[in-house]
Structures are given as structure tokens and as C-alpha cells.
Amino acid sequence: MKSKHKFVPSQVVPMEERTLLSSIPTLNLTTYNAVVHAVTRDIQVFENNVITAFDKDNVDGVPTAAFFTTVGIGTLGTGSTSNNWTYGSGTLLAGLDAQLGALEFKLPWGGGLGAKNPTGGSGLSNKTALTTSNLQSRGLWDYFNTEFGAPPTTASGVVLTNGVSVAEDMELTLEIFDVGAPAAPLATTATALFSDMNAVLTQAVSTHPTGDPVFTGFMTLGILPGYVEAGARHFKLK
């Protein structure tokens, strides 16, 4: 009588490896789409508030001091005594950065916390832009530094290195292409403001971003999809 063949797995995953695999965070499509939607909504609200401030506080298309105060251009690093990466309290840029900083915690490792965080965070917020390995956020830093010699810089003159957040992208884009700096404002239009801010929106969430950083080859994806693409090595997608 023939004995039955007993199947023996060729490779048994050790218990410690199974524990490690089970602890890898997961990002599902529903969560990702919800984050994209929320980031898009928050940026659009910011855009509308900037246009409202411009319509209220400009003289012949030149923004007044009140406009810069409302938006927060030139206030990087003044929002807290405990860090140098927040915008002035109560400004539109501070609000946008805080909202995106909360949303990035919905992404695996997105908040950047923990000594063993493998990604350094998403790069959506000012805080994680300082540590992220996201090539899209870091590409924006190279873009502003290379093309204009203007990486994110605090009001006291400290250059913030590594990456560029969405709020920093907004500030630098508005300052360079539209309104200028508080000490040297430039004439612009609401149409131009809206167009350039929409380009930054795509640089945050789109798989096909637009604007000068894309045309000059410094970024190929938005910050958010770029983080997911790179993060596939560190968390499961489903």
C-alpha cells in the first residue's frame, strides 16, 4: 500500500518575520481618496480666502500691507517660540499648514513621528518637509533654490532645508510670480493669483502636476501621490 504524500512547505516564514509583516501599516484606496479630497478642499478654501484678501486690500493691483499680514507671506518661523517652521499665528498660511499637518497623519508614517519612521513623513506640512524622503517635496526645494536662490527661509533669515511643503510652495509661488514681498510688493491680478495657486494645488495632489517646477524637471508627481509611490516600500497598498 502506497503511503500518502505529505506536503511540506518549502519555506516557512519564521515567527518574528510574520510578526513584522503583520505590523506593516496599510493604506487603502478609500483612505487615500479621502485624504486627496480633504487636501484639495483645504487648498481651495485657502485660494478663495487669498482672493478675498486681495480684492479687499490692494491699490491698483498692488497688495497692501494688510494683504501680506492676512496671508502670512514673510512670517515663516514666527508662529511659535518652540520651533522655526510655523507661519505667523492666525494667518492663512498657518491655517493651511495646520490642516495639512493633521491630514498627513491619516497616511502610514505620514506624520513623520518616531525615531524609526522610515519615510520622514509625507512632506505635505512644514514640519515633515524638514525630514521627508519624498522626492517630490525635495525636488521643490531644489527648484526654488536652483532657479531663484529662494528656498524656504524664516523671517529671521534661517534657511529651512530638505523639502518644501504645500504652504511653503504657496508662499514662494505667490511671492516670486505674483505679489512680491511685504517690503517690495508687485502689481498683479486676481486671475493671475488664482492660476498660480491652482498650479500649486496640482503640485500637492495630482499625478499630472503643472507649473514651472514640472516644466523645469524638478518634480514629476504631486507631493501626495509622490509619497505613496515612494512609500510602497514601507507600507502595504490595497
pLDDT tens digits for 87-97?
999 999 999 99
CA distance 49 to 55: 10
Given pLDDT bands bounded at 50, 70 and 90, which one contains residue 20? Answer: very low
Q: Are 61 and 188 in contact (CB under 8 A)?
A: yes
Q: What is the pLDDT of residue 18?
A: 41
pLDDT at 25: 83
pLDDT at 2 over 70: no
pLDDT at position 150 over 50:
yes
What's the mean per-residue pLDDT of the chain?
90
Query: Does the pLDDT at position 7 exceed 90?
Result: no
C-alpha dist (Å) from residue 75 to 71, 123, 188, 191, 213? 9, 20, 21, 25, 23
CA 130 to chain centroid, in Å, comes to: 11
- Does 12 score more than 70 pLDDT? no
Q: Residue range 74-82: average pLDDT?
A: 96
How many Å apart are CA 233 and CA 100, to the nearest integer?
A: 23
Mean pLDDT of 183-195: 98
- Give the pLDDT score at 23: 62
204 has pLDDT over 90: yes
